[in-house]
Amino acid sequence: PTYWGLVAQFWAEQLPPTVANVLETYEGSAYAYVEDWIAVALFNRSNTAAWLGFAVTFVVRPFAGLVCGVAADEFGRRRVLLASLYIMFGATVGQGLAPAVPYLGAAWMFACRVLQGFGSAGQVGSFTVMMTESAPPPAMGHAAAMISVSGWLGFIVALAISTALNYALSPAQMLRWGWRVPFLLTALPGGLVLYYAHATHESAAFEREHREPEDGGARVDHMKADLKATVLGHWRTGLLGTAGVLGVSSLQYLYSVYFRQWLVQACGMSTLQASQVVLAG
């Protein structure tokens, strides 16, 4: 097959997890784009508490990613990816269903954000490994690049939807139910992704390494040993990789989230105008 034939064949197999990666970054940024409404509806007008709800996801991710990464090595990338998708989409829709009740709504949102962080960590790690292991060697660079491209697409879709909502709805409507829409919109594409993700095959590289099946207890013991070896034996590499991801993610959110807030607070723009500027960029 030609290069583009290999690419087309690869995407026919890996489209569901790729869409899931789009939805992962979509959810994270969607919260930030409706944070001012969430603060009023659930956090007693406290922007600090609402932003802590945003941040708690990222606090959970490094620890969840370490656990899910080792689990993916023992039980399979596909299994961990599917489990992570169920957690991630359930938590995302759950955020849109948070009750507007004092304290209960805030606790509900925090719990969903913690679960969303755990699910996202498992999804991103499993997706990245599956993409690179499943890609045909001539198209491996293309597959790796699409990890970043699909992530940025999530930011764009979230900003476009939040901008449209701020344009179409009144402040009263946004406060009552409009801020919930970005989260609830993930139900349909998330359900389709889950349905088709079940047909996704395990990577050939993993299957070659795990030809001899182990019982569940042995796998758990093996996973614990691998986790300990990873933390104690590769902590320098882990810190270096974490710092790199931290830098890239900080730059992404600096423009897509913080810059929008700065335009509103420092430049006197409306939320709609600031969103349009960021979207145009």
What does R_g of the chain's alpha carbons equal in angstroms?
20
Residue 121 structure tokens? 């960590």
Q: How confident is the model at residue 274 (pLDDT cuts 50, 70, 90)?
A: confident
Contacts of 278 (CB under 8 A, 6+ apart): 159, 255, 256, 259, 260, 263
Highest mean pLDDT (candidates 4-8, 197-201, 228-232) = 4-8
User: What local confidence, expressed as pLDDT, does residue 73 receive?
Assistant: 81
User: What local confidence, expressed as pLDDT, does residue 116 receive?
Assistant: 92
Q: Which DSSP helix (H) or strand (E) runs through 126?
A: helix 104-134
Of 31-35, 51-55, 228-232, 237-241, which gets the smallest average pLDDT? 228-232
Q: Cα separations (Å) of 222 from 70, 74, 217, 229?
A: 9, 7, 9, 10
- Residue pair 60/233 in contact (Cβ under 8 Å)? The answer is no
Highest mean pLDDT (candidates 67-71, 127-131, 166-170, 203-207) = 166-170
CA dist., res. 222 & res. 37, Å (int): 46
Q: How confident is the model at residue 140 (pLDDT cuts 50, 70, 90)?
A: confident
Average pLDDT for 89-98: 95
CA dist., res. 47 & res. 62, Å (int): 25
209 or 74, greater pLDDT: 74
User: What local confidence, expressed as pLDDT, does residue 216 receive?
Assistant: 58
User: What local confidence, expressed as pLDDT, does residue 71 receive?
Assistant: 83
Q: Is the whole model's pTM more than 0.85, yes or no? A: no
- Among the listed residues 69, 68, 107, 114, the one whose alpha carbon sits nearest the alpha carbon of residue 91: 114
Whether the pLDDT of residue 152 is over 90: the answer is no
160 or 128, greater pLDDT: 160
